[in-house]
């Protein structure tokens, strides 16, 4: 497995938290190709803290944009054009967990969307969904968008208090494999992530190699 691409049904659904969990569970590196928003901790810094990674396992973002906006608009404000051709998967002996920005149809420039970056990288996709009302619709829409572009789906991670009705609806109507259901952590810190990687390992489909 070269890695996975973590996307979400929306912004703030838990992509960064799920990435930290995956990094620990898969003994992977982390890469945020396009970071929009530099105030406070960046996603790379959050993952480094939560997964307690040495700096060499966090690959530098290709674009670091100041405004916490959709990448196309954050880039436009700085006179930058996000060039897909510059977004190559970093070289590593470990798998790479790449985290997108926002959801699947977020623009990178006037032409390209996050799904185009996924297609370019060719990594199986992990879709993070929240557990609250509205998630079935957002998840099914995201799955349709991925399938319309024939992107390989590894599975869905449900993030938050378990909700069986949501899970069943996503499995049935979305024909999607649920990789894990991550609980809401009262204290979100390194020990919570390490414990979650141990207690809730991703249910990888057969044929997916996980490092020993
Ligand atoms: N399982 C969880 N338990 C506790 N807090 C969470 C959990 N998942 C996400 N959060 C919190 O929700 C917010 C958004 O999560 P984040 O991973 O940054 O989302 P995204 O990367 O999709 O924007 C953050 O403050 C994060 O700490
Ligand atoms: Mg994030």
Q: Is the pLDDT of residue 45 over 50?
A: yes
CB 27 within 8 A of CB 52: no
Contact 20, 46 (CB under 8 A): yes
Termini Cα distance of the chain: 12
pTM of the model: 0.97
pLDDT reading at 209 higher than 70: no
Ligand nearest to the CA of 181: 1
**Atom from ligand 1 closest to the CA of residue 128:** 22
**DSSP one-letter code for 69:** S
User: What ligand is nearest to the CA atom of residue 44?
Assistant: 2
Cα(58) to centroid(ligand 2), Å: 14
Evaluated on CA atoms 201, 47, 209, 135, the torsion sign reads positive
CA of 93 relative to ligand 2 center, distance in Å:
24
Question: Mind listing the pLDDT tens digit for each residue in 6-20?
Answer: 999 999 999 999 999
Residue at token pair 């998630």: 135
Atom of ligand 1 nearest to the CA of 19: 17
């Amino acid at each position: 497995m070269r890695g996975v691409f973590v996307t979400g049904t929306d912004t703030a659904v838990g992509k960064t938290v799920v990435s930290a969990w995956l990094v620990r569970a898969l003994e992977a590196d982390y890469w945020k190709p396009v970071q929009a928003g530099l105030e406070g901790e960046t996603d790379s810094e959050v993952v480094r803290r939560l997964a307690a990674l040495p700096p060499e396992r966090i690959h530098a973002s290709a674009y670091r944009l100041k405004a916490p906006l959709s990448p196309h608009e954050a880039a436009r404000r700085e006179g930058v054009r996000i060039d897909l051709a510059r977004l190559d998967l970093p070289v590593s002996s470990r798998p790479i967990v790449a985290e997108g920005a926002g959801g699947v149809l977020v623009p990178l420039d006037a032409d390209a969307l996050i799904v185009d970056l996924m297609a370019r990288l060719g990594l199986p996709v992990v879709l993070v969904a929240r557990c609250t009302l509205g998630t079935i619709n957002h998840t099914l829409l995201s799955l349709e968008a991925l399938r319309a572009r024939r992107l390989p789906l590894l599975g869905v991670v449900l993030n938050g208090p378990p909700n069986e009705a949501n899970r069943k609806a996503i499995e049935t109507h979305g024909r999607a494999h649920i990789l894990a259901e991550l609980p809401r952590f009262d204290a979100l810190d390194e020990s919570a992530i390490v414990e979650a990687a141990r207690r809730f390992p991703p249910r990888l489909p057969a044929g997916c190699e996980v490092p020993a």
